[in-house]
Structure formats: C-alpha cells, structure tokens
Chain A
C-alpha cells in the first residue's frame, strides 16, 4: 500500500462524509430531506468528471492550477456565506421576491453547489494521484491505495453513525453557516499536494499576504514617498514594518476572521424582532427561543474561528520563510561576450541577494545567477547543477536553496564545483561589469542535466 495515496483517499472520504452529515442534518431541520438526492447526483457527477479529466492531454492543468481552482472555490463559498448572511439580515439578495423552495430550482442549486464543492477537489486529487503513480511506477497500487483510504473513511464514518446519529447538528446551521462550513471544509481539507499540504492554509496565507504586500506597495507608490535621501531612509524604515512577514500575516488573519466575526456580531447583537404574544410570559418565551437559536448558530462560527487562528499559527512559519526566487533579467551576448552590469537601476549585485539573468540561445533559455559572498567577491554560476533537473536555486535566510531538492547551499561555497552546488562559470568581475565568455557558458551548459524541468518530467 502506498501511504500518500491512502491518505489522500482517506481525506477525501472524510470530507465527503462530513459534508453529507452537515448537509443532511441541515435539510432535516428544514424538512427538505428529499434534497439530499441532488447532492448525491452532484457528488457522482464530480467524481465522473474528475476521472474524465484524466483524458485531457497531460500538462494542460498543472497541480498549481488545480490548487488555484480549489482556492477559488474556497473563496466562492466564503463569499456565498457572506451573501447568505446579508440576505438573512433582511436584504433579499438572491432571487428578488422569488423563493427557491420549489423542487426543481432547489435541486439544481444543490447539484451545482456540490459540483462547485467537489469537482475541484476531486480533480486535484486525481491529478496528484496520477503524478504519484508515475513517481512510484505503480499505477494499480496507487489507485488501490487511494480506494482503500476512501473505504476506511467510509467504514469509520458508518460505524460512528451506527453508534450515534448527530442529526441535531442541523439546529446549529442556517444557510450562511452551511456555506461557511463548506468553505472551512475547503480551507482545512482542500490541499492536494499530499502530506506536505493537506490543507489550503499555506496557500491561502500566501495569497492573502501577497495581496496585502501588493496593496501596501501600491499605496506607498501612489503616495510618492519624497526622494530626499534622509527622509527616504526613515520613511522606508517605517514603511518596512508594513512589509514584514509578521504584519502581513496578522493583517491577513484579521481579514480572514472578519467574516466569521460579522457572523458573531449578527448572531449576538443584531436586534431581534419584537415578539408577539398574549402575556408577558409567552413573549419572554418566544424571545428566549429566538436568542437560543441565535446562540446555537453562533457556536459553529466560533469553533471555526478558533480553528482558523490555531491553524494560522501552526502553519505560520511555512508561509513566512518561503524561498526568495528573483525574476531573471534578460541578457544578450554581444560578440561572443556576455556583460552583466554590477549596479544598474534594476538591481545591485553587491546587495547580498541572489540575482538571476536569462540568456536566449538557439531556442533554449540559459539562466545565470550571481551572488556576493561574505568576502565581497562575486560568484557567477549557471542557475542549475549537474544532478537535479534545472529548476535552479532560491535564497532563504543567509543561504541558497536548491528549488528541486531543497538542499541548502552555503553562500560562501557558491562558485566551487561539486556537491549540490551550482555549476560555476569563470567570469571576470570588474568595477562596473561582469564579463563572461559565451563559449564558457555553452561549454558548462552542456553539463546540465538534460531532462526537462521537474514540472515537465511528470
């Protein structure tokens, strides 16, 4: 049995069971039990479509694309739940005066909802399993393991349900809470990259943080920080706080928590209608019922908030210590010689960060990197080593990292051959320019592992 495949199968199984349980309880409490059938239909359709996606030409959808689509469906459910909340607070958003209680339209909504929920996850998992099967050289075992995981999840769930049927869950969920639950299920169980990324949190975190980073950047660019040297330095030192990982992480957490917080506010503080009743006692009773219903519906939201905060901090490190991968800047050979400016508006090689350059040669892209060592010398290498597929290097903390295998490389050893180090280029480092012979580049390029990048190996 292949553990990773079993895990993915198990995770999908548990997700299906949980969603079924909450949806069924919700429908029971609304006395619309029959709507579970379109849910089954949507589930089956999603599974079928996911398997059909195997027939698509390889590489059309990459794992990253699938991840993005799942993130989008997470966002979709989050937005839906916000809209449902808004709707519930009296503004009829969805269907004007119309009602979705008629059988057919409700059925179609449930089908499309479950397609929206399951299809991206299933497709992503299928894609992951397919990749895994190739890596393991064992197609049958991979799929058998995944099915076994699914089966285990089913058995666990059914034996639980035999023992205890928690259909009273339904009283904790209104439509907004249901959508919020679905988006949370995505958030905590939507990752498809195997063990290393079971949940979406790291990528949602990254997405949010990038958004905030860009937002702040744009704001400050718009504000046009004055160009006086002293003012500029202090201003940017101050602005730097807002670019810090801690700040972005905190703000993005607040952003993510804002919707649940709105739920809580709605549940606990939104004014209740004045109850009708003959006596004070009966009015009090109606009020108490309304209040307890509200508090019940606030409970799952609070649980979600606790989960989000806990998960955010337990994943916090990953998104923060991500690898810095600079965009390569284009270069051109001029008379058999390549010249890299040491300092120009686009970058300063002596700044201690990694710099990358790209060179087009006979339809291939050759990447070159340069970095300053602690003795202020500059080492120039190909952005590839002899062993790994040429995914190149990134920078983390004070060392370089091989993007493919994650091996850290001490910056001071860059420029020496061997090990996992990048292939060094003999270059002439001058005051203003670094010059490299084109022939040297081409000679060393021929050592680079001839397989394509890891994305293409699949």
Chain B
C-alpha cells in the first residue's frame, strides 16, 4: 500500500488550469523529486498533497485517508500530525527566536517543549544560535531552522518546495546532505519540488511535469547514467 496515492486530480484557478488530471503514487520511505518549468503545476501538486490547498476534483489518499474529504479543522489535524513542510523561503516568524520558531510548531501540534526544540536545533547544527532572531541568521541557517521545525512533530511525510531555491551551492549541499541523512537513516518519505537538476540527482525517483500533466516518471539512477 503506497503512502500517497494521487488519483486524477484537477485543479482549476479562475483563469487557468493548474493541474489537468494528475495521478501518482509514493511508497513509504521513498524520495520523489518533482521537476518542471515554473507554471507547470508542481507546487500546486505539492500544496494539495500537503493539505494546504484543495483540488477541484479527484482524490488524494494519504495513509489511507482521503484528505480531499476532510473538513478544515480535520485538515489542520492532518497537517500537524502527518506533514512537515519546508518552503523556498524559510517563513520564520521575525519576532521569535530560533528556538521559539521551532516551539511554535510544537504548540500548534500539542504543547511547547523547549528542551526538545533545542535538541532538534542542535541536530541540524544550530546549537550555538538558539536565541538568535531570523534576521541575525544566514539563509542557510534559516532553512535549517525550517527543517528542524518541519521534523519536530515526527511527521510521516516531508514536503519540500524548492528548499534550496534561495541558497548558494554551499548551503544547498548542506541542506541536501541533511535531507539525505533523514532519508537514509530515519527513513523519511520525501517529496521535493525543484527545477534544479543538481538537486534532483538526489533521491529515488523524478517526476517531470509540464502544463499540468506528469509527462515522465523515471528513477534517479537512469538519469545519472
């Protein structure tokens, strides 16, 4: 039984079709990259899988729950229990410190626990910068807080929307190393959206999208060879 089953979803915006019947599956423990030009619908697909947006029609079944059928509050529960999201921009709350930015995810999940949040930041290598504000941190450091925040509630699924889009090569490598570790050691299921070919060489599978369709589905190894 796959962890994610997307069943012919269509997403229409007022002016345009973003997704025109997309179906896909992701197995537990898999790392899938979604590639495509901007406007191809890859971020929309990710948002729908993460319960941040809803499809116009079609089913998204995650862990045997059809999230398209959930109410708004049930969806909120789903997001906090099952999903960890990393964005292109770190989206940290500017007036909270690094630890507090992690704790806020704990708070919305259940309750804040400072020592656990500190530990999580230490794991992503930010043990020295716990009480810094986001503005005092570099882009790479901000993104690492974002990863710590995404992982703090032990999600089933890690979604990443262009996580390295704003980073230089050095930081990109560091983030990818982190994701690789999570994938291989902790067996996280990862769905990552990118248009960076270097990024897409990591992971198990690449889906390529164009104009609201998935046009290719191939393993990473094939691409390398």
In the complex they form, whether A and B have CB atoms below 8 Å apart is answered with yes
B154 CB–A CB distance under 8 Å:
yes
B19 CB–A CB distance under 8 Å:
no
Beta-carbon contact of B113 and A285 below 8 Å: no
Q: How far is the CB of A273 from chain B (nearest CB, A)?
A: 16
B202 CB–A CB distance under 8 Å:
no
Beta-carbon contact of B154 and A287 below 8 Å: no
A278-322 contact mask (Cβ, 8 Å, vs B): 1 or 0: 011110110111010000000000000000000000000000000
Beta-carbon contact of B154 and A288 below 8 Å: no
List residues of chain B with CB within 8 A of the CB of A284. 106, 109-111, 113, 116
State A279–B152 Cα separation when bound (angstroms).
Answer: 10
B104-143 contact mask (Cβ, 8 Å, vs A): 1 or 0: 0010011101001000000000000000000000000000
Beta-carbon contact of B110 and A279 below 8 Å: no
A259-279 contact mask (Cβ, 8 Å, vs B): 1 or 0: 000000000000000000001
List residues of chain B with CB within 8 A of the CB of A279. 154
B153 CB–A CB distance under 8 Å:
yes
Please report which residues of chain B, range 150-204, place their CB below 8 angstroms from some CB of chain A when the two chains form the complex.
Answer: 152-154
Residue among A279, A285, A289 facing the most chain B CB atoms (10 A cut-off): A285
List residues of chain B with CB within 8 A of the CB of A291. 111
List residues of chain A with CB within 8 A of the CB of B152. 281
Beta-carbon contact of A281 and B111 below 8 Å: no
Q: How far is the CB of B12 from chain A (nearest CB, A)?
A: 36
State A284–B111 Cα separation when bound (angstroms).
Answer: 6
CB-based nearest A residue for B111: A288
State A285–B109 Cα separation when bound (angstroms).
Answer: 7
Report how many A-B pairs have Cβ atoms within 8 Å.
24
Beta-carbon contact of B154 and A282 below 8 Å: yes
Residue among A280, A282, A289, A291 facing the most chain B CB atoms (10 A cut-off): A280
CB-based nearest A residue for B117: A280
List residues of chain A with CB within 8 A of the CB of B110. 281, 284-285, 287-289
B71-110 contact mask (Cβ, 8 Å, vs A): 1 or 0: 0000000000000000000000000000000000010011
State A287–B111 Cα separation when bound (angstroms).
Answer: 8
CB-based nearest B residue for A282: B154
CB-based nearest B residue for A284: B110
List residues of chain A with CB within 8 A of the CB of B154. 279-282
Beta-carbon contact of A280 and B111 below 8 Å: no
List residues of chain A with CB within 8 A of the CB of B109. 281, 284-285
State A280–B113 Cα separation when bound (angstroms).
Answer: 10
CB-based nearest A residue for B119: A280
List residues of chain B with CB within 8 A of the CB of A280. 113, 116, 154
List residues of chain A with CB within 8 A of the CB of B153. 281
Q: How far is the CB of A454 from chain B (nearest CB, A)?
A: 63
CB-based nearest A residue for B155: A281
State A32–B110 Cα separation when bound (angstroms).
Answer: 29
State A282–B156 Cα separation when bound (angstroms).
Answer: 12
List residues of chain A with CB within 8 A of the CB of B113. 280, 284
List residues of chain A with CB within 8 A of the CB of B116. 280, 284
CB-based nearest A residue for B116: A280
Having A280-B116, A282-B154, A289-B110, one finds 17 other A-B pairs with CB under 8 Å, namely: A280-B154, A281-B110, A281-B152, A281-B153, A281-B154, A284-B106, A284-B109, A284-B110, A284-B111, A284-B113, A285-B109, A285-B110, A287-B110, A287-B111, A288-B110, A288-B111, A291-B111
> Mind listing 22 A-B residue pairs with CB under 8 Å?
A279-B154, A280-B113, A280-B154, A281-B109, A281-B110, A281-B152, A281-B153, A281-B154, A282-B154, A284-B109, A284-B110, A284-B111, A284-B113, A284-B116, A285-B109, A285-B110, A287-B110, A287-B111, A288-B110, A288-B111, A289-B110, A291-B111
Q: Show the binding face of A for B, using Cβ within 8 Å.
A: 279-282, 284-285, 287-289, 291
- Please list the 6 inter-chain residue pairs (A to B) with the smallest Cβ-Cβ separation, ordered nearest first: A288-B110, A281-B154, A279-B154, A284-B110, A281-B153, A285-B110
